[in-house]
């Protein structure tokens, strides 16, 4: 059994900490800052950091890698197509890796950055997805390097994973994402209900993650670009007929950038 906890970093990042209680080994995903991980290891001195997983090159995901690697000798996995500090294993689409006994397959998901990868643990009992800054709870990452078409395709891949897949993304953006989702689909009770629930959680300063793919398909506008009501809203915004789902996606993403 692997336990997964969030180590908060900076304003709104989460460093995911995977713990294998049997071996007392642990792994982290996207340690943008070494300090929260070091503090946890200090509080839990019997534990060994064995693996570091990186989704993309941005500093808020990689800033702690070199220090943690130096201190612990952990193996660093990261995307082959990006410059990742201290990377030991360069990963490309469909590559397989095993971390703490969990088998992961790599999904290349360009858009936020061109080399961005996601880590998927394909276990029918409990599938897990570490989606970095690609699929957020009720949202998606900004397009810093890729095109809307690339991101739409990437989200299509992640959006096709099983309903029960737990989604561990790298930021606490859920509330602001849902504010936008309500603007896109004011009549969708799943969206308004989730907005109210997440509002309550954030009022108590509680985490809104992990999400799951069934919930994302019901409430994340960027996974709902084929829904009539979503296309209609996109068309209203652009004053044009967004004839393809990719065009609807592009219109939503551009709208969200200024929302
Ligand atoms: Zn990023
Ligand atoms: Fe980020």
Residue (of 133, 169, 127) closest to 2 by Cα position: 127
In tens digits, what is the pLDDT along the chain, a chain of 259 residues?
Answer: 899 999 999 999 999 999 999 999 999 999 999 999 999 999 999 999 999 999 999 999 999 999 999 999 999 999 999 999 999 999 999 999 999 999 999 999 999 999 999 999 999 899 999 999 999 999 999 999 999 999 999 999 999 999 999 999 999 999 999 999 999 999 999 999 999 999 999 999 999 999 999 999 999 999 999 999 999 999 999 999 999 999 999 999 999 999 9
**Which residue, among 59, 1, 6, 57, has the nearest Cα to 28 in the 3D structure?**
6
Q: 86 alpha carbon to ligand 2 midpoint, in Å?
A: 19
Tokens of 246: 């990719």
Burial of 200 (0-12, 13-18, 19+ CB in 10 A): exposed
Active site residue 61: yes
Own/partner contacts of 238-246, CB < 8 Å, gap of 24 or more, are 245/152, 246/148, 246/149, 246/152, 246/153
Q: Which of 33, 51, 61, 116 is the catalytic position?
A: 61
Rounded to two decimals, what is the model's pTM? 0.98
- Does residue 133 carry a catalytic annotation? yes
- Calculate how far, in angstroms, residue 209's C-alpha sits from the geometric centre of ligand 1: 18
Rounded to whole angstroms, the Cα distance separating 178 from 183 reads 8
- 23 CA → ligand 1 middle, Å: 32
Q: Spot the catalytic one: 30, 57, 133, 152.
A: 133
Per the residue annotation, which of 56, 107, 116, 121 is the catalytic one? 56
């Amino acid at each position: 059994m692997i336990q997964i906890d969030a180590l908060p970093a900076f304003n709104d990042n989460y460093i995911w900490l995977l713990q294998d209680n049997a071996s007392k080994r642990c792994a982290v995903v996207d340690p943008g800052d070494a300090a929260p991980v070091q503090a946890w290891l200090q509080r839990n001195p019997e534990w060994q950091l064995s693996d570091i997983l990186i989704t993309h090159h941005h500093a808020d995901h990689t800033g702690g890698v070199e220090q943690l690697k130096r201190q612990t000798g952990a193996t660093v996995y990261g995307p082959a197509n990006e410059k990742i500090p201290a990377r030991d294993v360069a990963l490309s689409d469909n590559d397989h890796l095993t971390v703490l006994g969990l088998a992961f397959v790599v999904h290349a998901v360009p858009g936020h950055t061109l080399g961005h990868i996601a880590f998927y643990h394909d276990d029918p009992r409990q599938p897990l997805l570490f989606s970095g800054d690609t699929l957020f709870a009720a949202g998606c990452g900004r397009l810093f390097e890729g095109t809307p078409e690339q991101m739409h395709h990437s989200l299509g891949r992640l959006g096709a994973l099983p309903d029960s897949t737990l989604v561990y993304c790298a930021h606490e953006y859920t509330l602001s994402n849902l504010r936008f989702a309500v603007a896109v689909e004011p009549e969708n009770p799943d969206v308004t209900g989730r907005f109210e629930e997440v509002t309550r959680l954030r009022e108590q300063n509680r985490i809104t993650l992990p999400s799951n793919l069934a919930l994302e398909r019901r409430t994340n506008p960027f996974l709902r670009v084929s829904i009539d009501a979503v296309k209609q809203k996109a068309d209203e915004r652009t004053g044009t007929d967004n004839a393809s789902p990719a065009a609807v996606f592009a219109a939503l993403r551009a709208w969200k950038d200024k929302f």
